[in-house]
Structure 1
Amino acid sequence: MKQQTESNVLKNGIVGAFYLIGLQIISRVFTFIINTLVIVGVDDSIFGVSAIQYQLLSSIILFLSREAIRRACTRVNITDKSNNGNNLKSVIKLSWLVLPIGIGLSVIFENFFLYTSTKETLQILNYHYGLRLFTISSILELLSEPMYILAQNLLLFKIRTTVEGFALFFKTFSSYYFIVILNMGLIGFGYAQILYSLTLVIGYFGYFLVNIINNKKNHKEFSNCFNSVNQLFPKFTTTIDKNLIKLSILYTWQSIYKLLLQEGEKFVLFFSETNQGQAIFAIVSNLGSLIVRFLFLPIEETCFLMFPKLFPTIKTDTTKNNNNEREINNENYKNGANVLIVIMKFLFLVSLIFTCFGPGFSHLLLNLLYKNKFKDTNAGVLLGFYCLYVGFLAVNGVSESFVHSVAKEDQLKVVNWVLIIIGFIYLLFTLIFCKLFQNIGIILANCLNMLLRIIYSIYFMKSFFKDIKDIKLSKMIPNKMVILSFIVSFIFTNLSNKYIYNPDSFKSTCIHLLVGIICFVQTCGFIYLKEWSSIKEFRKILSNKNK
């Protein structure tokens, strides 16, 4: 029975990953095309303010308001009826706290941006109005958070796929309409963001309200949890579970740390770069992180929900006198470890692809997309270094997701301290590298930060599986010949970029592309020859979704 439950968890997790990846691929490719047209048609300063300063304001409000509560609530089994549904009541009451927290943070940080912006920025038409629109949109998005948490906890990935897909669709089209057609500048960006948030609120609340009213029966967990609309709202008589509060506090420190890591570069850009410089970095960052948003992030989020259920004994004391149960636990750990190893190897391979092929073709990609608009800037070099950073992000996402999702309360405290130390190292080297290498230094500091976090995550994995035989984490590293083929490709593509590629020559561009194709084909050949067993194992895991 337990094995069947874990199989269902794995199945739901994989299906969820496919839904999320599908959403990200379709929506991001679509939005990428429209956003490219927006970037070409809008002034660099306006785009820089929107992409860096407005997005930074929104990220601060959303991250500090909801991230800790979101992570804590997803670790609670709200379908458990053994305690009279107190888990569900606690999660709902805690999830609604994001709204008053967000309103308070909105007032503080909107004024912070107004008082710290440069004269150049304040003179841009409708800067304050656009800032206010992004503040309002952040509060609206927080209004949808309680329903988002419930959907994630119940593994209703299809709902998220649908709602966020429509939200991105409306945001993208409205951005093009307000900014390019109506030429509304910063106000246009704000209106599009508000439309996005409203779609999230209507979509998530609409799903739960409609299905509760219709007494939905085709989702067992849903029908077992909800039979009244009133259950979606907090009750003053409900007491939030103390362990849930403690977990939220622990995740709060992680959230602050994660915010500094994810948005630290925007803080540096906000205080040190011109609006045009911010625009160039934003374009490179959005382009370079495209794969992160539509592939790595969905896998990371799915793994965070899946790992606690694949390793369920992490939350309870193991039975000391029952050898059979101990053997079952060990077998469950082995199965979970195999899933972890296969996913990590896949991400290592994807990481190598970006690290070895990205720098050699970053100039070409920018020139093709933006019609040589950034030909005379350092955008191409910046994108090349960002590809190296994407490689580190690929590996860190799932490895850190494993640590945060299975760690006990006392282990989370240690993790927090380790992350704080790494965070200080990151901030220190950000300042040092920025002085030495300007905006490229930000990316180099990020690479160092990711490397340190990966090293600690692997150390945690080894400690986690140390008492279980036949688990070799070294299997997640690709074959040596595959790695060598990537190194050879890196050398040849960069030599071609330096000595052959000329943006003004069609012939040299074709030759450069041919070099890249040849290198990529030989690398894929080595992957097929040396990693076929891993490919079969990966396919075996994927086949669970059909069982």
Structure 2
Amino acid sequence: MGSQEFLGQAARLASSGLLLQVLFRLITFVLNAFILRFLSKEIVGIVNVSLPNARITSVRHCAQLFLLFFFSFFFFRLTLLYSTTIFLAREAFRRACLSGGAQRNWTQTLNLLWLTVPLGVFWSLFLGWVWLQLLEVPDPNVVPYYGPGVVLFGLSAVVELLGEPFWVLAQVHMFVKLKVIAESLSVILKSVLTAFLVLWLPHWGLYIFSLAQLFYTSVLVLCYVVYFTKVLSSPESTKQRTLPISRITDLLPSITRSRSFVNWKEAKLTWSFFKQSFLKQILTEGERYVMTFLNVLNFGDQGVYDIVNNLGSLVARLIFQPIEESFYIFFAKVLEREKNATLQKQDDVAVAAVALESLLKLALLTGLTITAFGFAYSQLALDIYGGAMLSSGSGPALLRSYCVYVFLLAINGVTECFTFAAMSKEEVDRYSFTMLALSSSFLVLSYLLTRWCGSMGFILANCFNMGIRITQSLCFIHRYYQGSSHQPLAGLRLSPVLLGAFALSGGITGVSEVFLCCEQGWPARLAHVAVGAFCLGVTLGTAFLTETKLVHFLRTQLSMSRHANKMT
């Protein structure tokens, strides 16, 4: 398969991931509305016990606030436990094993991937002990089944790691439909189970979400196992001939006398990525660790920040994450580590450079759009989502600042996607020292800025962190393509006409917010939305006319994706 085919497959994978994220967020939104509607009735008694001195003008409203800020706070703790365990156990293995050519020994690669399971058991036990012994345990009368929730979330992380060899094999061979079906089915069944338990057993508290999470990971792994079992047992299957294994038992760990248990080159690269992934997790979830362990914000501020964080990062999860995951595989398969651009196949280098330039341009345009329009519509978005509770306090300022952070997040996702795919083992080790300094400074800066300016400090610290990481990645990309005729960093340049359109749109929508939003009633709000829609249309039209290279790239990948879908 040539580099152009790999590029088309990566585009398919990214678009499928985008559709999956939209599906997940839609299901989550409906599920949250359902839970809030039914579970809030059941916790009125808890509210009366927990808030005896509060001025309650509406018992139902107070119950909703309690569920939003208190119950979800400890659920957030459990998801942090799960995501930390998963990230530390598998991130390094994924990055190392998704690289490499077709001539690798897959028995050794699969053996290496199975090491994620004992590593996951270790992290789940250690972090579970931390969550139960070092963190404040909630009153069981207020948040029931917190202890079993910790155990079940840790167990669900280990169960998901059992499917890691299947997942990597599927990703390397670009089984797009498998990922779509497995993840869609898992999240839908998880949502149905959660809704059922909330409706019939609301007093189970965190037990509901813990069992649903375990069910989700079990179904996800089962889908991959069933798929590969079916494919490998079918002699006429075309996919069977492309796989490096002939039966399902080949996916299990095996020891051969002629070769070592693992490929030591891959193992050393995994170790390099592991040191880096540990530090990257601190940079990714640093503010959550600071909030969880240091209690730098009061209860209400933590709740508002968490809501703003979820809203602000929505676009990042919908668009940037699928692109980063899919094109990391593309760059890792097309480019060889240990070599710069002048020493590799020039056709592959050219395709990679075009893809990187287009992705940088797409990330830049998306980030600028969010920043330019986010400032004028942050208060309205929060008012629609949570009412005056969110839109009248610090929420709008937080969300506006988060728009700038999302802009940096977009650029960083693309640059690190390429950087980590092209770095040699020695460069990964050197970069780990940089991330060690970044992680330490980020934690200290988060703590100090939060003490100084509240929850805004987390966003400022994240912006600082992203700025440094982007600078590091841009320097690597510049060195990598130095001496070649390709200049992928040109994707960070925009025409003056388009920059003027963004600036003008930001100014017009800002004036519109002052006169039309948000205390003027719904007719004025709708007029404000109409002004934004018009400015957005003009800006996107300008981008379409000025960024012809990006438009051509997107059209090409779209047509290739359609052709590939027809072929399958």
Length-normalised TM-score, structure 1: 0.90
User: Contact 1:51 / 1:282 at 8 angstroms: preserved in 2?
Assistant: no
Q: Partner residue of 2:360?
A: 344
Is 1:19 aligned to 2:16, yes or no? yes
Which of 148, 155, 164 lines up with 2:167 in the alignment?
A: 148
Residue 405 of structure 1 aligns to which amino acid in structure 2?
Answer: A
Q: CA RMSD in A?
A: 2.5
Residue 267 of structure 1 aligns to which amino acid in structure 2?
Answer: Y
Residue 16 of structure 2 aligns to which amino acid in structure 1?
Answer: Y
Is 1:389 aligned to 2:405, yes or no? yes
Q: Partner residue of 1:54?
A: 78
Q: Partner residue of 2:121?
A: 103
Is 1:179 aligned to 2:198, yes or no? yes
- Show CA shifts across 1:11-66 (max 9, x none): 22222222222222223223233234435655124443344211111112111111
Is 1:398 aligned to 2:414, yes or no? yes
Residue 197 of structure 2 aligns to which amino acid in structure 1?
Answer: F
Q: Partner residue of 2:437?
A: 421
Is 1:217 aligned to 2:233, yes or no? no
Aligned length: 529
Work out the CA distance in 2 between the residues paired with 1:145 and 1:46. Answer: 34
Shift of 1:352: 0.6
Q: Partner residue of 1:305?
A: 329
Q: 1:479-518 residue pairs with structure 2 within 5 A?
A: 479-503=495-519, 505-518=521-534
Residue 17 of structure 1 aligns to which amino acid in structure 2?
Answer: A
Which of 447, 466, 469 lines up with 1:453 in the alignment?
A: 469
Cα 1:113/1:519, change in 2 over 3 Å:
same
Say which SS state the counterpart of residue 194 (structure 1) adopts.
helix
- Show CA shifts across 1:61-90 (max 9, x none): 11111111111111134x42xxxxx62111
Shift of 1:337: 0.7
Shift of 1:499: 4.6
Cα 1:378/1:90, change in 2 over 3 Å:
same
Structure 2 residues not aligned, in runs of 5+: 41-63
Q: Partner residue of 1:83?
A: none
Work out the CA distance in 1 between the residues paired with 2:444 and 2:429. Answer: 23
The more displaced of 32-41 and 286-295 is: 32-41
User: Contact 1:31 / 1:168 at 8 angstroms: preserved in 2?
Assistant: no
The more displaced of 116-125 and 206-215 is: 116-125
Say which SS state the counterpart of residue 380 (structure 2) adopts.
helix
Cα 1:303/1:193, change in 2 over 3 Å:
same
- Show CA shifts across 1:202-239 (max 9, x none): 1111111221122463126644x121222010024451
Cα 1:257/1:221, change in 2 over 3 Å:
farther
Shift of 1:406: 0.9
The more displaced of 370-379 and 101-110 is: 370-379
Cα 1:311/1:346, change in 2 over 3 Å:
same
Cα 1:175/1:376, change in 2 over 3 Å:
farther
Q: Partner residue of 1:539?
A: 555
Which of 65, 71, 75 lines up with 2:95 in the alignment?
A: 71
User: Contact 2:332 / 2:421 at 8 angstroms: preserved in 1?
Assistant: yes
Cα 1:28/1:317, change in 2 over 3 Å:
closer
Cα 1:247/1:469, change in 2 over 3 Å:
same
Work out the CA distance in 2 between the residues paired with 1:63 and 1:175. Answer: 24
Q: Partner residue of 2:272?
A: 250
Length-normalised TM-score, structure 2: 0.87
Work out the CA distance in 1 between the residues paired with 2:195 and 2:383. Answer: 22
Work out the CA distance in 2 between the residues paired with 1:472 and 1:295. Answer: 21
Residue 527 of structure 1 aligns to which amino acid in structure 2?
Answer: A
Q: Partner residue of 1:528?
A: 544
Say which SS state the counterpart of residue 407 (structure 2) adopts.
helix
Cα 1:279/1:131, change in 2 over 3 Å:
farther
Is 1:266 aligned to 2:288, yes or no? yes
Is 1:130 aligned to 2:127, yes or no? no
Is 1:292 aligned to 2:316, yes or no? yes
The more displaced of 301-310 and 210-219 is: 210-219
Cα 1:210/1:534, change in 2 over 3 Å:
closer
Work out the CA distance in 1 between the residues paired with 2:393 and 2:214. Answer: 33
The more displaced of 443-452 and 175-184 is: 175-184
Say which SS state the counterpart of residue 493 (structure 1) adopts.
helix
Q: Partner residue of 1:323?
A: none
Which of 26, 31, 44 lines up with 1:29 in the alignment?
A: 26
- Show CA shifts across 1:422-479 (max 9, x none): 3333223212221122112111211121111112111111111111125362243222
Work out the CA distance in 2 between the residues paired with 1:67 and 1:460. Answer: 21
- Show CA shifts across 1:485-544 (max 9, x none): 212322333343345312562233123223322322232232133223431233234434
Shift of 1:348: 0.6
- Show CA shifts across 1:94-125 (max 9, x none): 11111111111111111111123336566532
Which of 136, 154, 159 lines up with 1:118 in the alignment?
A: 136
The more displaced of 450-459 and 111-120 is: 111-120
* Identical counterparts, % of pairs: 26
The more displaced of 116-125 and 281-290 is: 116-125
Say which SS state the counterpart of residue 390 (structure 2) adopts.
coil
Work out the CA distance in 2 between the residues paired with 1:221 and 1:265. Answer: 47
